[in-house]
Amino acid sequence: MYILLCAFLISPNSHSSNTKEKLPVKKSDSGNYYVSSSTDPGWSYTCTDGIEVELLSVGLKNNIPASIDIQDLEIVDRIVVEIVYKGNNPGETIEIEDADGNSYTATRVVPSGGSSSVWYYRTEMPITSSINYSNTLYASKAQSMLAYVFRRKNNGLGSSGVFTAIGGYNNIETLNIPITTDSGPRSVTVELPISELTADGRYIHIEVSAADGSFEELTETINDFPSGNCCIKVFSLSLQNVAGNIDEIEVKIDTRNKRNGQSVNGQSWVMGGAVKTDVHCSCVDFDITPPTADNLVDHIILEDISLMPKITFSDECSAVTLEAYNEYELGFESCWIDLLPNTVSNFEIDGFSLDNMHHWEYGYYQEFYDTNGIGPSKIIGRVVNNADPTSGWIIEIFFNPSVDNKSTIDFTKPYKLEGFGDYAGSNLNLTNTSSQNLEVGPVDPNGFNPIAFNVAFGGSVNGQIEMKAVLNNCVIKREVFIIREWIVSDAAGNSQVYIQRVELEYN
């Protein structure tokens, strides 16, 4: 059994001086927190990389100009494009354009194998919302355009692929694809983009297998294409319960005349494209531990903003996803939410299964400045169930400025009560009534700094949320006080909230 750690870096943003203007919130971009493969040609990503590859294709025969649209650009890392010709081609190079009209050169290559008069062109492009091809020379000989879109999705899969240059006709072609190993059996899905197919009733037979005896096959007679245009299909075959020590999958393509139970000839085909495998990461099935902060110090004092540290997060099973990052420059006070003496709970939720008693595993109360002085506040953190600490809620709620130590929820700002573990999918909807309130009292005679919260929630389950707690480890603004907040998650859906309180003391 092996353990892999994946870390990402969050770079500090620039900061302005502390002014009593509107409460500023800075959102970080995704950052370079994933691990890119250095394998070329091809790729190899483990579960700790969190990269998936989507195959997008369009038929080109007499269908030029043509385009492929790319969605969700904010999580796209890399795009590779290839175009296949059969019978003739437009020359040694072709030009492929992005959405802004920038042109990228792809060079002609002859694939190996039994198919003749086939060429493919392949190039890598920067991130763009569309891929456009407009060379109409020999448009009747153009076969397909295929895009490999590498995305940071962190869905509990390891992805690997080999960019191929192989074709066949009335023969058998085989190739091997490396896959990542695992600690236990898992499913493996193989995707094969095969071009230069003809809707003339000829067949193609594909087998995928592993050394442990795992096997899957398909035989398909090509009579039409889903898009109505030839000449490409992406075939998908899945192997189940592949042994964890298997590091390779074999692919065999058989198009021999009147074989494999067929009475017709086999297809002529070319796989100038990549063979892709997605391997389910078995550790995700039983992962109950959220990501950890590797180098986070809760409270730091800096002499200069340029010394703001980068924070890394890691997980033993999968990549780490940054769900949210907030940076508040007008912080006034930040405290831990803690248990009252001689108690085991400080957060109760009625209406759900399990024990209704919960406690803040990691909770904070924050208060900020606004244009009128002391302004809005919030609570944020991770609450877990006392009876089952693997289940609970990620919470983030803003409150209006307090009056006489009491404040109400600010429903103009988004809030979060997001369930995990046995509560996964049970996000709570707060009801906007006058009973919603947060009380932060002065220090009582026993030396406590109490905080209390009462709110109703609705939806398929209605109930009450009540908090009775105490504030500890408070940091109060002196010169400049910055509060940084991260919400991170792993592929299994385990989430955690991390806070850093930063004071700037200029000399």
- pLDDT tens digit at each of 507 positions of the chain: 333 334 444 333 333 333 323 333 322 232 222 223 333 457 888 889 999 999 999 999 999 999 999 999 999 998 999 999 999 999 999 999 999 999 999 999 888 776 778 898 999 999 999 999 999 999 999 999 999 999 999 999 988 888 877 888 999 999 888 888 888 888 999 999 998 899 999 999 999 999 999 999 999 999 988 765 688 888 999 999 999 999 889 999 999 999 999 999 999 988 866 778 899 988 998 999 999 999 999 999 999 989 999 999 999 999 999 999 999 999 999 999 999 989 999 999 998 888 999 999 999 999 998 877 788 999 999 999 999 999 999 999 999 998 888 899 999 999 999 999 999 988 999 998 877 889 998 766 667 889 999 999 998 888 999 999 999 999 999 999 999 999 999 999 999 999 999 999 876
The answer to whether residues 275 and 289 belong to one domain is no
Whether 234 is in a domain gets the answer yes
The answer to whether residues 150 and 262 belong to one domain is yes
Cα-Cα-Cα-Cα dihedral of 418, 423, 424, 429, to 10°?
Answer: -40
Coil/strand/helix, residue 400:
coil
Cα-Cα-Cα-Cα dihedral of 325, 328, 332, 335, to 10°?
Answer: 0
The answer to whether residues 296 and 270 belong to one domain is no
The answer to whether residues 201 and 292 belong to one domain is no
CB 421 within 8 Å of CB 398: no
The answer to whether residues 219 and 293 belong to one domain is no
Final residue of a domain: which of 256, 280, 304?
280
Q: Tell me how long the chain is.
A: 507
Whether 2 is in a domain gets the answer no
Whether 486 is in a domain gets the answer yes
Final residue of a domain: which of 245, 280, 315?
280
Range of the domain at 189: 48-280
The answer to whether residues 171 and 289 belong to one domain is no
- Residue 507's pLDDT is what? 66
The answer to whether residues 406 and 461 belong to one domain is yes
Which helix (H) or strand (E) is 501 found in, with range? strand 495-504
Whether 42 is in a domain gets the answer no
Which of 54, 55, 41 has its CA nearest to residue 232? 55
The total of structural domains in the chain comes to 2
Final residue of a domain: which of 280, 310, 340?
280
Question: Greatest CA separation found in the chain?
Answer: 93
Whether 37 is in a domain gets the answer no
Beta strands in 210-356 (DSSP E): 215-221, 233-242, 248-254, 268-271, 274-280, 292-293, 299-302, 311-314, 321-328, 331-338, 347-349
Whether 38 is in a domain gets the answer no
> For residue 19, how many other CB atoms are within 10 A of its CB?
11
Whether 194 is in a domain gets the answer yes
Whether 360 is in a domain gets the answer yes
The answer to whether residues 270 and 334 belong to one domain is no
Between strands 166-169 and 268-271, the pairing is antiparallel
- Residue 41's pLDDT is what? 58
Cα of first residue to Cα of last residue in the chain, in angstroms, is 52
Q: Which residue in the block uniquely carries the two structure tokens 């999580």? A: 75
Say which DSSP state 329 is in.
S
The answer to whether residues 210 and 74 belong to one domain is yes
The answer to whether residues 25 and 123 belong to one domain is no
The answer to whether residues 237 and 316 belong to one domain is no
The answer to whether residues 201 and 322 belong to one domain is no
CB 20 within 8 Å of CB 369: yes
Beta strands in 294-424 (DSSP E): 299-302, 311-314, 321-328, 331-338, 347-349, 357-370, 373-385, 392-399, 406-407, 416-420
CB 3 within 8 Å of CB 46: no
